[in-house]
Structure 1
Amino acid sequence: MTHYQFLEPLTFKNGLILKNRIVMSPMTTMTSFYNGMVTSDEIHYYQTRAAGPGLVITGVANVSASGKGFEGELSVASDDMIPGLTQLAQAIHQNGTKAILQIFHAGRKTNQQILRGTQPVSASAIAASYPADSETPRALSVEEIQSIIADFAAATQRAITAGFDGVELHGANTYLLQQFFSENSNQRTDAWGGSFEKRLHFPLAVINAVHQAIENATSRPFALGYRISPEEIETPGIRLADSLAFVDQIKTKVDYIHLSMGSYQRTSLNDQTNNQTLLSQFAAHTKGVVPLIGIGAVTTPTDAQAVLADGAELVALGRELLREPQWVQKVTAGDLGAIRTQMSPLDMDELAIPSVMQTYLRTSFYQVMNFTDDSTNQVNYQNTLAPMEGFEKKL
């Protein structure tokens, strides 16, 4: 039987041990209750996929009411959410799998309908360039910024109480952490914006506050991860050099760094002369310092091995774990021929994919899901942003 490096365990510097290096990437289910409480459909969805990967990262949970980005989104904004989140963590903790709660604030990537009449907020009063109907947000006051930082810390404490093994700060896909880092969305002239160093102020403050919350609330190994988008396509906007410099600032402050890309083979979207994969360029900055999660269109064991060979320590599977919840188990058993790389729409109930998520996959993600009834050319997002990276408005 072939020896796969991704089936080997990994130990974080804080002592948290993963049984293997496969990560279930965070995916939007749109299945929570109106107020962000966990539903039984969500529990079943995660339970179906949890036993194989070493680590499961949930879809995003908002840390405050103003941070809700879409309907059906998880919330960790109040203690009322703890019982449901406890059930979710327990559902993931099968066969030694570790559970990470991804937390975020949507910032300007929402609208007044979702926020029940409240204007979205961001670093500056600048609307997103896409989608075309993006609303202009209100610039946050300094007091509100401090309050949201405290919300991230409080959310972390709730994740600890609920039994999760860590939190991941969603600083990618054009959400609030990225909005403060980006010159496109952050044009403040105070201590929270302007220069590169000042645009780092907010994400660094969130990281520090979360660290303090972890230190205060638990003595067990509890991971802090950070997800980052390598580039923006707007001008001005985040370029690869900015993100690499950002990683250099945070790589000793977090337990892992998680890239957000539609393809692990992606090269720069802005610099056509740069032919190196983004993954390898980030790995050059993280190697030996902090584990890097590579991601994007990973379907086969060969893909997963290629991600590790390109410099990552962990491999995230998203769409493939929707199609094949038993991916790790089948690879471990050498039963590669039984792995589904396509998905029939008729199988989605059997695969425990919630009904509202099924609609989402059949619309926004139709061309990347390898549906058996799709005769079009599949898009691999090697040279373009994918919907999951914030390019399209969520339904």
Structure 2
Amino acid sequence: MAPYTFKNGITLKNRMVMSPTTTMSSFYDGHVTNDEIAFYGARSGGLGMIIGEVANVIASGKGFEGELSIANDGDIAGLSELAHAMKRNGTKAVLQIFHAGRKSNDQILRGNQPVSASAIKAAYPADSQTPRELTADEIDDIITAFGDATRRAIAAGFDGVELHGANTYLLQQFFSPNSNQRTDKWGGNRDDRMAFAKAVIASAHTAIDQYADRPFLLGYRISPEEIETPGIRLADTLAFVDMLGDSAVDYVHTSMGSAHRTSLNDKSDHEPIIAKLVAQLAGRKPLIGVGSVETPADADAVLDMGTDLVAMGREMIREPQWMEKVADGDEASIRYQLSPSEMAELKIPRAMQDYLNGAFYSVMHFTTDPEAAADYQNQAAPMEGFEKKM
């Protein structure tokens, strides 16, 4: 598979990317654990790039237990070890950064109420808590925190950061007409609701300009649709992607359970969403396609849709040496199923094993699962922030 060079000069040795894969295995304070280092170290070396699991940029942004932190300078030392493990044999290492917003709760936040653009409870899951509306000063603090997190990622040795604007987290919450009903400069019509994302991109880009002593990537991940009403629809996302195409980001990354998904809301629209995104970007930014990519043929099919790079998540959990085996013509030995008895051997942390056996059980191709794997072609995946079958 051919290399890929970004406009800022960073070259990936191939076009295969490991998408962010939550291990839920950080210490209580967000510091990196040896389990995380071992997990990523086992999967580096063959791929062109690994995008590490999400890290919160500020204490109010923590979304789940076992989550990485990049909110303090004290996090840099551990993150440096993680970056080193991810960069074996020339693999590039990007760290995803975020604020969970209303996708948290007062238990995770140690008694504090979750926050969001507006004081509107998420529909999914059903036990979501009503967030507190952020003040203007708090919004400014969060924007600054994204820049500070980018500085720390540079210091830790990563090759880039990815702003997590998908899966119903805070960046998406500010763009959504469901979760953002503000009347100040951070709310309003569709274009006005892009203001927070634009400010976060600018904050991260400024940090790169100021602190990076080498080419450093800035990516942005999106979820194309919401299923709530009101909510983000494809027309909204295409407008948002148009903005990204003219922004300082170096790439755009989708978040979907299937790379071939069509609209969740308009069943008469049979054009794959990825094809729409490729057309909207029109070559201005590279697009990373993702979703149920398992075989080399699957990867080629996504690239054939016009994406520049293709990412795998679940398959990289099952098969850490996927790229090496493909390069050696050894596809016959690739694990497309996961044996529960091999999870320790595959360096899958214990906390991650538990949730793979839970919410993701139906899509992990467990050798002990008698049912056919679930298909995300026409429904949202668990990581996308929904719990409703389509």
Pick the TM interval, shorter chain: over 0.9
SS in structure 2 of the partner of residue 243 of structure 1: helix
Deviations 1:190-248 (CA, angstroms, capped at 9, x unpaired): 11001112100100000011110100001311000000000000010000010011010
Q: How does 1:12-27 map to 2 (within 5 A)?
A: 12-27=6-21
Deviations 1:34-72 (CA, angstroms, capped at 9, x unpaired): 000000000000000011110000110000000000000
User: 1:199 aligned to 190, 193, 196, which one?
Assistant: 193
Which residue is equivalent to 2:169? 175
Which residue is equivalent to 2:31? 37
Deviations 1:129-153 (CA, angstroms, capped at 9, x unpaired): 0111100000000000000000000
Which letter does structure 2 place at the counterpart of 1:388? Answer: M
Give RMSD over aligned pairs: 0.9
CA contact (8 A) 1:287 1:311 kept: no
Q: Distance in 2 between matches of 1:103 and 1:290?
A: 20
Q: Distance in 1 between matches of 2:386 and 2:31?
A: 27
SS in structure 2 of the partner of residue 257 of structure 1: strand
SS in structure 1 of the partner of residue 90 of structure 2: coil
Which residue is equivalent to 1:107? 101
Which residue is equivalent to 1:78? 72
Q: CA deviation at 1:390?
A: 1.3
User: 1:322 aligned to 311, 317, 321, which one?
Assistant: 317
Q: CA deviation at 1:377?
A: 2.4
Whether 1:381 aligns to 2:382 is: no
Q: Distance in 2 between matches of 1:43 and 1:219?
A: 25
Moved over 4 A (4+): none
Q: Distance in 2 between matches of 1:289 and 1:156?
A: 23
SS in structure 1 of the partner of residue 164 of structure 2: strand
Q: Distance in 2 between matches of 1:13 and 1:381?
A: 33
User: 1:288 aligned to 275, 283, 294, which one?
Assistant: 283
Which residue is equivalent to 1:9? 3
Q: Distance in 1 between matches of 2:4 and 2:81?
A: 26
Q: CA deviation at 1:156?
A: 0.2
Which residue is equivalent to 1:371? 366
Deviations 1:290-343 (CA, angstroms, capped at 9, x unpaired): 110000000000000000001110000110011110000000000110011001
Whether 1:340 aligns to 2:335 is: yes
Q: CA deviation at 1:388?
A: 1.1
Q: Distance in 2 between matches of 1:89 and 1:206?
A: 23
Which residue is equivalent to 1:273? 268
Q: CA deviation at 1:287?
A: 3.4
CA contact (8 A) 1:100 1:164 kept: yes
Which letter does structure 1 place at the counterpart of 2:246? Answer: T
Deviations 1:234-288 (CA, angstroms, capped at 9, x unpaired): 0100000100110101123210000000001100001111101011110111232
Q: Distance in 1 between matches of 2:174 and 2:306?
A: 28
Q: Distance in 1 between matches of 2:267 and 2:291?
A: 20
SS in structure 2 of the partner of residue 69 of structure 1: coil
Q: Distance in 2 between matches of 1:190 and 1:203?
A: 15
SS in structure 2 of the partner of residue 391 of structure 1: coil
Q: How does 1:121-270 map to 2 (within 5 A)?
A: 121-253=115-247, 254-270=249-265
Deviations 1:63-107 (CA, angstroms, capped at 9, x unpaired): 000000000000000001000000000001111000001000000
Aligned length: 387
Q: Distance in 1 between matches of 2:2 and 2:59?
A: 40
SS in structure 2 of the partner of residue 363 of structure 1: coil
User: 1:306 aligned to 301, 307, 310, which one?
Assistant: 301
CA contact (8 A) 1:27 1:318 kept: yes
Change (3 A) 1:392 1:84: farther
Q: Distance in 2 between matches of 1:357 and 1:322?
A: 10
Deviations 1:344-381 (CA, angstroms, capped at 9, x unpaired): 00000000000110011000100000000101121121
Whether 1:93 aligns to 2:79 is: no
SS in structure 1 of the partner of residue 191 of structure 2: helix
Which residue is equivalent to 1:4? none
Identity level (%): 63
Q: Distance in 2 between matches of 1:252 and 1:11?
A: 19
Deviations 1:8-40 (CA, angstroms, capped at 9, x unpaired): 100000111111100000011000000000000
Instruction: Extract unaligned runs of 5+ from structure 1.
Output: 1-6
